Amino acid sequence: MINEKLEKAFNDQINKELYSEYLYLSMQAYFERLNLKGFVNWFTVQVQEEHAHAMGMFNYVHERGGRVELETIDKPETNWESPLACFEQVLEHEEYVTSRINALMDVADEVKDRAALSFLDWYLKEQVEEESNVGGVLATLKLIGNDANALLLLDKELATRTFVAPVIG
């Protein structure tokens, strides 16, 4: 049976993952407006990943005999100054999520739930990958500056990203 404090921390993180899904869906809509279909594809995959992250925890809490209580999901921003500004926010958000996963692990550590710690290891590794992935796109966007042709080349590259359902835990 999962400890009550840890159960609450998991519920908070489920909300954060669902917010991530919502934020990236809003960014997807932004790139639809810009008609940059490769970026749209990148966010389509990102949205699916965030949903999988939320569901991984959703299922885990149940597996541990806990209770999931869904909270309100905050309204995400709907517009950005540029693709660069948008990706700056993605990186900032992923860094925030990493800090929340660390905080969740602190709670698991505090209540000596080693099974939960081992489960959360996957999320920690995933955050390293996400930050590096997003950091790569951001670095390219900085190089691109106002070069529309280079932006279209990046758009082509982002069109190749595909979703692979993660095996969590």
Contact residues: ligand OFO, CB under 6 A: 17, 20, 50, 53, 94, 97, 130
Cβ proximity to ligand OFO, 40 vs 134, nearer residue: 134
Minimum distance of ligand OFO from residue 96's CB (angstroms): 8
Cβ proximity to ligand OFO, 4 vs 129, nearer residue: 129
Cβ proximity to ligand OFO, 143 vs 166, nearer residue: 166
| Token pair belonging to 29 | 């809509």
Cβ proximity to ligand OFO, 123 vs 151, nearer residue: 123
Minimum distance of ligand OFO from residue 102's CB (angstroms): 13
3-state secondary structure the chain: CCCHHHHHHHHHHHHHHHHHHHHHHHHHHHHHHHCCHHHHHHHHHHHHHHHHHHHHHHHHHHHCCCCCCCCCCCCCCCCCCCHHHHHHHHHHHHHHHHHHHHHHHHHHHHCCCHHHHHHHHHHHHHHHHHHHHHHHHHHHHHHHCCCHHHHHHHHHHHCCCCCCCCCCC
Minimum distance of ligand OFO from residue 73's CB (angstroms): 13
Minimum distance of ligand OFO from residue 53's CB (angstroms): 4
